[in-house]
Chains A and B, each alone.
Chain A
Amino acid sequence: MAIDIPALMQEITQAASTVINEDITKLRGFSERQLKALATQANLIAQGVLSGAIDEELRDYFLDSLEDMALNFAKTLRGLLMITLEKVWNSIVGVLWNAIGKATGITLLTPTLD
């Protein structure tokens, strides 16, 4: 049995789009929360310094922390992106292997690459 190429393309697009649309919404929400919280942190530090509540030593600590948190934000975003990439890729491979299996009548196990 020949594979229906347009139908397969549609199925692949659908599989990838479902994952991407769902994950991008979550990634956008996470980024917005983090950027707002980091901006709020900068404002809290400034207000604390201006009021005299935050001394020089504590100011330096909070500024170093802000840098650490910005780096951790980038690391987290990259980690989330890896998960999305994994899900998209595996969903496409699943659709392709399933199509080949149906066309050939052979039950194919989806190979893994760890």
Chain B
Amino acid sequence: MRTVFNMMKAASLLFFVVALSACTVQLAPQFDQRLYHQLLDTSANTLIFLAETSSGTRANTCEQRQNSYFQLIGQFEALALQSRARPMPDSDMLEKINAALSARGLNTGDMDEAASAAALDKVASSIAKMQEQDCANGLQPIIVATFKNEILISLDQAITYESFLER
């Protein structure tokens, strides 16, 4: 909550930065309906896969799950690529906002790509790590639950951001 409050305080400052110019601005990439629907479909498939493995797995049956792992990793890597492929607005305002945010201690890197790209990369790497563990040692239910929650956190970030882009 405090993070939101701080960011809103920063937003009010930024608003005056933006207010120096009386033009409409674009501060985020365009909504991509196809990407968004693919993201929802792939998320649903991921949740189905996680439900299938929720009671735990054995390493000697890993081969049966390899295709699912490879398919999901590939799909999320492709979604991250699509997210990055969209042109980012090249706005002077964006640079001023970035500088103002950094000055307020809210430095989370340059805004040179859609915020969902890093979250989608994280989903792909989480599934890859889960696959590695599954095939090496099998997965106890608590480990599946930990991977599942990790994947859900990143999926929520990506889906929330992409849906917000529809404006």
Binding site for B on A (CB under 8 A): 24, 26-28, 30-35, 37-38, 40-41, 44-45, 47-48, 51, 53-54, 58, 61-62, 65, 68-69, 71-90, 93-94, 96, 110-114
Cβ contact within 8 Å between B111 and A79: yes
Does more than half of chain B's interface fall in helix, strand or loop, or is it mixed?
helix
- Decide if B164 touches A26 in the complex (CB within 8 Å): yes
Please give the number of chain B residues whose Cβ is less than 8 angstroms from any Cβ of chain A in the complex. Answer: 57
| A93 touching B23 in the complex, CB below 8 Å, given contacts A78-B106, A78-B115, A80-B161 | yes
17 A-B pairs (CB sep. < 8 Å): A28-B4, A38-B153, A45-B146, A54-B142, A61-B129, A65-B126, A74-B106, A75-B115, A78-B101, A81-B11, A82-B94, A82-B111, A83-B164, A85-B27, A93-B24, A112-B23, A113-B93
Q: A48-B146, A61-B129, A75-B108 are in contact. List 9 more A-B contacts (CB 8 A).
A: A31-B4, A37-B153, A44-B146, A65-B122, A72-B118, A74-B106, A82-B27, A94-B24, A113-B91
Also in contact, A81 and B154, with CB within 8 A (given A72-B122, A111-B24): no
Q: Is the CB of A77 within 8 A of B22?
A: no
